[in-house]
Structure 1
Amino acid sequence: MTLQRWLRRMAFTLLGLVAAVGLYVAVACALMFWPANAKPAAEAPAIEAWVLSNGVHTDLVFPIRSATVDWLQLFPLTDFKAVPPDAEFVAIGWGDREFYLHTPTWADLTAARAFGALSGGNRALVHVTYLQRAQMRRGAYKLPLSQAQYAQLVDHVRATLPSGRATPIAGARYDKQDAFYEAEGGYHLFETCNTWTGRGLRRAGVTVSRWTPFDFNVTWHLQPAQP
């Protein structure tokens, strides 16, 4: 193969990659304007809940105890190092196993780890954190839920756990008030942490994009709030 032919092939490959990325982002953005549940059920909100975003990843945030569920029964304090006694909420997210366990901060992110997550092949984990109200000052979006909608989201979380049971990953945590659990499914380019959040919201009848690969797809139709 001549150098000229090799360079031409590389150029076409790069152009194809750029086009694929552009199409991926364009579809994600376009679907925000064609949301599922555009006219949600007119039931009065009954649960104090949020979506919590760090700008990339989203978690579902619920009260620790309610008439619907006591999350301490599913994710007991014995799985955690030291949950603050004044914790009021539980944040639950889903994501790539390798990324979760080896990227506690953005400084730990590597190109290889990001590519490995997007290319698929890794099992998923559920990440659970018990939060104080003051820890939700940034990135919180109000999630108005009726009791019936909340029950749907609880079922969504339970369905993510193998056999509906929370199996902790021994020694895996970022700090004293979080823990990781085994999860169903695998992470890849079309199945991200945010698609998991979005799927739960659609199932519960919340207005949300029909596909949510990015955090802004999840939060676009929600109102920012300061708990």
Structure 2
Amino acid sequence: MLKRWLRNTAFTLLGLASLVGLYVAVACALVFWPANGAKPAGDAPADVQAWVLSNGVHTDYVFPVRSATIDWLQVFPLKDFKAPPPDAEYIAIGWGDREFYLNTPTWGDLTVSRAFGALSGGNRSLLHVSYLRRGQLGRGAFELPLSQARYAQLVGHVRASLPPGPAQAIAGAHYDSQDAFYEAEGAYNLFETCNTWIGRGLRQAGVTVSRWTPFDFTVTWHLQPARP
């Protein structure tokens, strides 16, 4: 009886390890077969300087607060934030699992059950928005020069992730004085991560990026690190 249990457990663990290995292998392989890899001659000029910001696990878009395309202050008003920097030039926007976002302000707050709950799906999602000064970009920023047309595509991707009507801030939910959380469309799961959301927007905007981006490096692989 014990022998059979040990054998079944071993096969289960081996099967799980194989699935994890396949997941990672596919993600890595697709980095070398990117979408939008062939840049057409006379490609549109870079009218908007944006960035992808990575903390080593999670990625965000970083856009200018105001441009000819959009004024983000009209979408995410300062009243929703505790004390955003008055001289903020940029806005960082990320998408993720609601429970994970609200209950894991630091990696020290991460638990196995919370991580499993996010990956298994079923939870609603949120947008996490921060207003930043240029000096706050720092390490982990990757350059994302965009034409106005490509930037408009990315803006459309972000706005499509909000429910209809004005953006709905989550009252009292903050990591610091310059961020806020907003209700979002979609649900986080193993195949729909914060990074796949970033990658989908980049593909729609014509940026060279992996065809599937579950990890941060699959988003940033084809981008250039920002100059200090």
Identity %: 76
Partner residue in 2 for 1:44: 45
Q: What is the one-letter code of the residue matched to 2:153?
A: Q
SS at match of 1:52: strand
Q: How many angstroms does 1:43 deviate by?
A: 1.1
1:69 alignment partner in structure 2: 70
**Pairwise CA RMSD of aligned residues?**
0.9
Mapping for residues 116-131 of structure 1, pairs under 5 Å: 116-131=117-132
SS in 1 for 2:29: helix
Q: How far did residue 174 of structure 1 move?
A: 0.4
The superposition leaves residues 3-52 of structure 1 with CA deviations (integer Å, 9 ceiling, x where unpaired) of 11111000000000000000000000000000000023511111010000
Code of the aligned partner of 2:24: V
1:1-227 matched pairs, under 5 angstroms: 2-41=1-40, 42-163=43-164, 165-226=166-227
Asked if the contact 1:158/1:165 (under 8 Å) is kept, the reply is no
Query: 8 Å contact 1:158–1:164 — kept in the other structure?
Result: no
- Offset, 1:144: 1.4
Q: Under a length normalisation based on structure 1, what TM-score does the superposition of the two structures give?
A: 0.98
Partners of 1:94 and 1:110 in 2: how far apart? 20
SS of 2:30's equivalent in the other structure is helix
- One-letter amino acid of the structure 1 residue matched with residue 115 of structure 2: A
TM-score by length of 2: 0.98
Q: Which runs of 4+ in 1 moved over 3 A?
A: none
**SS of aligned partner of 2:191:** coil
Aligned to 2:6, the other structure's residue is in SS state helix
Aligned length: 226
Q: Structure 1 unaligned runs (5+)?
A: none
Structure 1 residue 149, shift from structure 2 partner? 0.1
- The SS at the match of 1:211 is coil
Q: CA deviation at 1:164?
A: 5.4
